[in-house]
Amino acid sequence: MRCAKFVLLIFITFVTIQACIGAGRHVAYAVLYNFVCIMYKKYKKYAKYYKKIQIIMSK
């Protein structure tokens, strides 16, 4: 029984962490996207660099 509870605990923890990372990634992506838009207005020559980061973050 202890082994089953331990495995279940690890599974729940893993799912929770994945959910947090998933949500965190979307939040970070939204913040980065806004940052890219602001930077694009200020520094158009750096736009390609920030878009590369945006693509990396979306994966």
**Confidence at 1, pLDDT banded by 50, 70, 90:** low
In this predicted structure, the answer to whether residue 11 has a pLDDT above a threshold of 80 is: yes
In terms of Cα–Cα distance, which of 25, 55, 56, 51 is closest to 37? Answer: 51
**In the chain, how many domains are there?**
1
pTM to 2 decimal places: 0.36
Distance (Å) of CA 21 to CA 16, 24, 30, 36 = 9, 5, 14, 21
Q: 43-56 burial string, b = 16+ CB within 10 Å, else e?
A: eeeeeeebeeeeee
pLDDT computed for residue 17 by the predictor: 75
Q: Which residues form the domain of 36?
A: 2-58
Computed over every residue of the chain, the mean pLDDT equals 75
**Predicted confidence (pLDDT) per residue in 15-41, tens digit:** 777 777 777 767 777 777 887 777 667
Distance (Å) of CA 42 to CA 29, 35, 37, 48 = 20, 11, 9, 13
